[in-house]
A and B are shown apart, each in its own frame.
Chain A
Amino acid sequence: MGEEDYYLELCERPVQFEKANPVNCVFFDEANKQVFAVRSGGATGVVVKGPDDRNPISFRMDDKGEVKCIKFSLENKILAVQRTSKTVDFCNFIPDNSQLEYTQECKTKNANILGFCWTSSTEIVFITDQGIEFYQVLPEKRSLKLLKSHNLNVNWYMYCPESAVILLSTTVLENVLQPFHFRFPPKQAGTMSKLPKFEIELPAAPKSTKPSLSERDIAMATIYGQLYVLFLRHHSRTSNSTGAEVVLYHLPREGACKKMHILKLNRTGKFALNVVDNLVVVHHQDTETSVIFDIKLRGEFDGSVTFHHPVLPARSIQPYQIPITGPAAVTSQSPVPCKLYSSSWIVFQPDIIISASQGYLWNLQVKLEPIVNLLPDKGRLMDFLLQRKECKMVILSVCSQMLSESDRASLPVIATVFDKLNHEYKKYLDAEQSYAMAVEAGQSRSSPLLKRPVRTQAVLDQSDVYTHVLSAFVEKKEMPHKFVIAVLMEYIRSLNQFQIAVQHYLHELVIKTLVQHNLFYMLHQFLQYHVLSDSKPLACLLLSLESFYPPAHQLSLDMLKRLSTANDEIVEVLLSKHQVLAALRFIRGIGGHDNISARKFLDAAKQTEDNMLFYTIFRFFEQRNQRLRGSPNFTPGEHCEEHVAFFKQIFGDQALMRPTTF
């Protein structure tokens, strides 16, 4: 298995902490993604490390008994430590506030605190076996104020910090889940709302064992902006099913929870879940491999639930060498390979893997490059890549690859890929446009919902495709020109299909390619059907082709005419062709003959060496002078003295028009 085959990897720079051992307890806070290493109950030091801050927070605290749970509030303002089943201790980390600990006991009589979660920098939720209590911490007063509470029997709980939802397991079978949602508008006390509860269907189990829902089989994660509860359903060995599956329950902000997706694992054993870049990653310990699922890819829909299969064949996470840092890093020492899928790994949502015994916290990452070769169906590959965060360069390389000689894709495939790119591109353009229109209409202040659309990497515009794919592609000498033109036309077709205005440089590329291969008649036909949109630059380009292909002149003039903003250019073109009369008739036809320079036309007429033509043009301007100024004479500003002299020389003084006097 070559290295290019692994599509999952552990991040290069993990968070390193002191290994868990009898005197050093390790805690992980999912909200702040911090690892706490608590030595001797804190007396010999607490070291807190987060993924982003490379400077760990260290402090000491008195050893007041075994620490059960320890977490900072958001922004590391207040530290909460649970040491007993009835109380939680607090300590301010705000400058100028007292650092003396203060304690809060849970309000419900006889209740045991299962744990707590911070929902903001000063708000905390206690979860007890008899319900939840929502407090506001007042650090300056070193006290807490109960905001709200709710009583129900709780088996276990789960917190999803991204969506601020706490899930409580209730009932004997533990499979009825009660979600609570916490909102914390700025500068205002947070609110707690109870969402509709729902039941997880447990698989049928033999009568002897009591079925129940284990906390281990549930995860919560945000996928494509929506909160899902992921349930890992192991099939009992007695049933003849094919394997375990992950059931995704969609938990909307409003309304009931609904079973939406089923991810078929086709194997049994021990699993762990992560969510990375909106992909569900399922690790399988027995085979030490992982698979990924993308719920946006098309699956089999049975009328209520969509069934998905792994996007790619199962692969191990890319082998990982434990980096050796510090004074121990001697060159002779080879890096130690890390045991992957170790039983000491603990997995947290969305993408965290912790090895407490080794003292590492990794973020799991998806590598896109290897996937390009693992997914032969280019349409599906595009669907997959377009949903990924860091997709731009990979997609562009896929495009280049499918146009390369060795890996050339068929035209229908190329068309599909272009269509998918442009679909995404068009969505963005539309969003931009409606945003711009809303801003113009002055809705920006009144509606907080109005946000400038985010341009994700999946938006590949014409300039991206031109710069990274097409311009290099047309330069390839070995490519048959038929294929080159077919590809360019396919891209233009796709843009048109999505009603995206095609940029001038793409048309230029088509023209360049056709001209290079002397395919002027093809070019002519494209222009005839307006496939190459009218523009002044294009018209000029055509003019320049006239010596190779005479009809280009006519095509260019037609285009200028259609533009209707290029009348000056038309006159110039006609004059350069010595079609002085035609130029004059044209400008008169559009009513612009009062503003043209007489000198320019007389010059052109003189150059034709056709005296009668010169006479006609000269007389026209005399008449214009008469009409505009009441005299046929030219004014000095018109600089026509030499033409008057020339006229006299040929036709004589008496041929000049007489001023009509009244």
Chain B
Amino acid sequence: MAAAAAGAGSGPWAAQEKQFPPALLSFFIYNPRFGPREGQENKILFYHPNEVEKNEKIRNVGLCEAIVQFTRTFSPSKPAKSLHTQKNRQFFNEPEENFWMVMVVRNPIIEKQSKDGKPVIEYQEEELLDKVYSSVLRQCYSMYKLFNGTFLKAMEDGGVKLLKERLEKFFHRYLQTLHLQSCDLLDIFGGISFFPLDKMTYLKIQSFINRMEESLNIVKYTAFLYNDQLIWSGLEQDDMRILYKYLTTSLFPRHIEPELAGRDSPIRAEMPGNLQHYGRFLTGPLNLNDPDAKCRFPKIFVNTDDTYEELHLIVYKAMSAAVCFMIDASVHPTLDFCRRLDSIVGPQLTVLASDICEQFNINKRMSGSEKEPQFKFIYFNHMNLAEKSTVHMRKTPSVSLTSVHPDLMKILGDINSDFTRVDEDEEIIVKAMSDYWVVGKKSDRRELYVILNQKNANLIEVNEEVKKLCATQFNNIFFLD
């Protein structure tokens, strides 16, 4: 009893250190062309946090403008992307001509207790990776564009006023979901995880999609996912990349709970009482039996570089299989259409989902027992954006969990930066702390990062291990040893 009582109160007082992860200080969007004549603040299209005093906003924007202008004199085609200071880092991005997005991230902090008991703050200036956060900033724009179209389009549709409204509406919510502390290599890649599947099941899915597009003749594009992994995209790669990001980090996680609740739970009971299939809408009407159900679907914008299409995004899911039907925004899906979709797609998707599940299990069994290997890896192919990571656990809406130490993740990021500098294929092997080895390989637009933990391994052994890994995991692609 005594021992328990004694243990209960004790905390890790020995290490008098507190760590604060990187955090978003501010985020703003401006257009220098809007400023000079009508007053400085007109340049600012969006500013977070909004509470900041007007003059300070103008000052900060002005500073960025100056930096960009100044650096442009040295490198006209590639102006500054980031600015490093002791306390923070600023990232600049010009996604559309003269529209600038700036993100200011505070460096991670370690708060130490000095001898006299006063806290001492130490900024970790070298912790943040430029590439990671530049990618996050670019993603912010892509996500905005997906749901709102380009800045220019908003200007054409309703001038600065409309653009400001849209930015406010979108970023107000979006910035809260950024989670800068858990950004890493995967944010640089912005890849897509593909679901491994045998040819026959894949063809069945093809057949299903084609039939659905035929019977629901207003569907323009379709995407098919299983287990949050992509199987088919009718959209072009870049559009799919950001839609995939939205689906897997925002839409799907929000709908996990009702699914886990099962059929008999009260949440499930609210769903249309359909016994024939498990299909349901993730966007659009919740209950098809409700005659007043709203058939409002999110709008998305794709192919903004040429055809500039505005679409309704219908996401429909049965068990682990999700289909995105995209229909032209000029067509308004009615409740009747939704019911029809439900009655056609629901049963077939349910069958297909269990087929995929079955096939997947068969393949898994055939490929042998899933032993936890000695290593973890991240793979990315620039050509098809295929991404595979055994480092990351399942993504949740709030945070992406990694199973390795942040320091190792940082090494991965550093290797990636090295790869970016040269065009040639190369290989980097790093000996990290506590028996860890990190290997980075780049071969014809593919990158592979391996983390090994082997006691007393030497360089040759590590090299051999990685060769073995390539032979087992990547034997069907051309990947140079």
Residues in A lying within 8 Å of B, measured CB to CB: 410-412, 415, 482-483, 485-486, 489-490, 492-493, 496-497, 521-522, 524-525, 528-531, 550-551, 553-555, 557-558, 560-562, 570, 579, 582, 585-586, 589
| In the complex with contacts A521-B236, A561-B476, A531-B203 CB distance below 8 A | yes
B residues less than 8 Å from A554 (CB atoms)? 381, 383, 444-446, 478
Chain B residues, CB < 8 A from A485: 210
Which residues of chain A are near B386, meaning CB under 8 Å? 528
Q: Nearest residue in A to B199 (C-beta to C-beta)? A: A530
A530 cross-chain contacts in B, Cβ below 8 A: 199
Main secondary structure of the interface of A (DSSP, over half): helix
Q: A493 with B206: in contact, given A411-B211, A529-B197, A557-B478 (CB under 8 Å)?
A: yes
**22 A–B pairs (Cβ distance < 8 Å), ordered by A:** A410-B215, A411-B207, A411-B214, A412-B211, A482-B210, A483-B214, A485-B210, A489-B203, A492-B203, A493-B200, A522-B234, A528-B194, A530-B199, A531-B203, A551-B384, A553-B444, A554-B446, A558-B477, A561-B476, A561-B477, A582-B480, A585-B480
Of all chain A residues, the one with the shortest Cβ separation from B425 is: A582
Are B480 and A525 within 8 A (Cβ)? no
Task: List residues of chain A with CB within 8 A of the CB of B481.
Answer: 585, 589
Q: Give 16 new A-B contacts, CB below 8 A, not counting A482-B210, A493-B203.
A: A410-B211, A415-B207, A483-B214, A489-B207, A492-B203, A496-B203, A497-B203, A521-B233, A521-B236, A531-B202, A554-B444, A554-B445, A558-B477, A579-B425, A582-B443, A585-B480
Nearest B residue (CB) for A588: B481
* Alpha-carbon distance A555/B445, docked complex (angstroms): 11
Tell me how far the C-beta of A405 lies from the nearest C-beta in chain B, rounded to whole angstroms. Answer: 15
Is B213 positioned at the interface, with any CB of A under 8 Å from its CB? Answer: yes
Query: Which interface residue of B197, B203, B481 has the most chain A CB atoms within 10 A?
Result: B203
Residue of B194, B206, B211 most packed against chain A (CB within 10 A)? B206
- Which residues on B sit within 8 Å (CB–CB) of A483? 214
| Per-position binary interface string of chain B over residues 422-435, scored 1 when its CB falls under 8 Å from any chain A CB and 0 otherwise | 00010000000000
Contact of B444 among A497, A521, A524, A557 (CB under 8 A): A557
A489 CB contact (under 8 Å) in B206, B425, B444, B477 = B206
| Inter-chain contact B203/A525, CB cutoff 8 Å | no
B34 beta carbon closer than 8 Å to chain A: no
CA distance A493 to B211 in the complex (A): 13
Given contacts A489-B210, A493-B207, contact A525 B232 (CB under 8 A): yes
Residue B237 is within 8 A (CB to CB) of chain A in the complex: yes
Among A483, A528, A529, max chain B CB count under 10 A is at A529
B204 interface residue (CB < 8 Å to A): yes
Q: Could you tell me which residues of chain B, from 465 to 479, have a CB within 8 Å of some CB in chain A?
A: 476-478
B207, B383, B443, B478: which has the most chain A beta carbons within 10 Å? B478
**B194 lies within 8 A of A586 (CB):** no
Report the interface size for chain B: residues with CB under 8 A from the other chain: 33
Q: Which residues of A contact B215 (CB under 8 A)?
A: 410
Question: CA A641 – CA B406 in complex, angstroms?
Answer: 55
Name the residue among A530, A558, A570 with the largest chain B CB count within 10 angstroms: A558
Contacts of A579 in B (CB 8 A): 425
Contact between chains at A486 and B194 (CB < 8 Å): no
The 6 closest A-B pairs by CB, nearest first: A486-B210, A551-B383, A493-B203, A557-B478, A561-B478, A529-B202
Q: Which B residues touch A486, using CB under 8 A? A: 210, 213-214
What A residues does B204 contact at CB under 8 A? 493
- Measured CB to CB, the closest approach of chain B to A500, in angstroms, equals 12
Chain B stretch 111-133: residues in CB contact (< 8 A) with chain A: none
Cα–Cα distance between A71 and B159 once the two chains are bound (Å): 102
Taken together as a complex, chains A and B put the C-alpha atoms of A497 and B197 apart, in Å, by: 15
* A156–B446 alpha-carbon span in the complex (Å): 86
B405 to chain A, nearest CB (A): 32
Q: Are the CB atoms of A410 and B237 closer together than 8 Å?
A: no
Tell me the complex Cα distance, A46–B37, Å.
120
Bound CA–CA A582/B481 (angstroms)? 9
A492 to B237, CA, bound (A): 24
Chain A's closest residue to B206 (CB) is A489
**Chain B residues with CB below 8 A from A496, complex form:** 199-200, 203
Q: Is the CB of B237 within 8 A of A531?
A: no
Within 8 A of A (CB), among B182-205: 194, 197, 199-200, 202-204
Q: State A528–B196 Cα separation when bound (angstroms).
A: 10
| Beta-carbon nearest neighbor of A555 in chain B | B383
Which one of A521, A529, A570 lies within 8 Å of B237 (CB-CB)?
A521
Bound-state Cα–Cα, A531 to B480, Å: 25
CB neighbors of A among B217-264 (8 A): 232-234, 236-237
**Contact assessment for B232 and A570 in the assembled complex, using a CB-CB cutoff below 8 Å:** no
Residues of B within 8 A of A555 (CB): 383
Which residues in A have their C-beta under 8 angstroms from that of B443? 582
- Chain A residues with Cβ under 8 A from B236's Cβ? 521
Closest CB in chain B relative to A579 CB, distance in Å = 8
CB-CB under 8 A for A525 and B233, given A496-B203, A554-B444: yes
Is A562 touching B476 in the complex (CB atoms < 8 A)? Answer: yes
The distance in angstroms between the C-alpha atoms of A496 and B425, with both chains bound, is: 38
A11 to B165, CA, bound (A): 82
Contact of B199 (CB < 8 Å), options: A482, A529, A562: A529
Residues of A within 8 A of B384 (CB): 524-525, 528, 551
Which residues of B are found within 8 Å of A557, using beta-carbon distances?
444, 478
Kindly report which residue of chain B lies nearest to residue A557, judged by CB atoms: B478
B213 touches A482 (CB 8 A): yes
Closest chain B residue to A556, Cβ basis = B478
Please name all residues of chain B whose beta carbon is closer than 8 Å to the beta carbon of A550 when the two chains form the complex. Answer: 383
CB pair A411 B210 closer than 8 Å: yes
Nearest Cβ distance between residue B130 and chain A, in whole angstroms? 26
- Whether B478 contacts A560 by the Cβ 8 Å rule is yes
User: What separation, in Å, do the CA atoms of A412 and B477 have in the docked complex?
Assistant: 35
Contact with A along B380-423 (1 / 0, CB 8 A): 01011010000000000000000000000000000000000000
Chain A contacts for B232, CB-based, 8 A: 525
Digit string of B355-397 for contact with A (CB within 8 Å is 1, else 0)?
Answer: 0000000000000000000000000010110100000000000
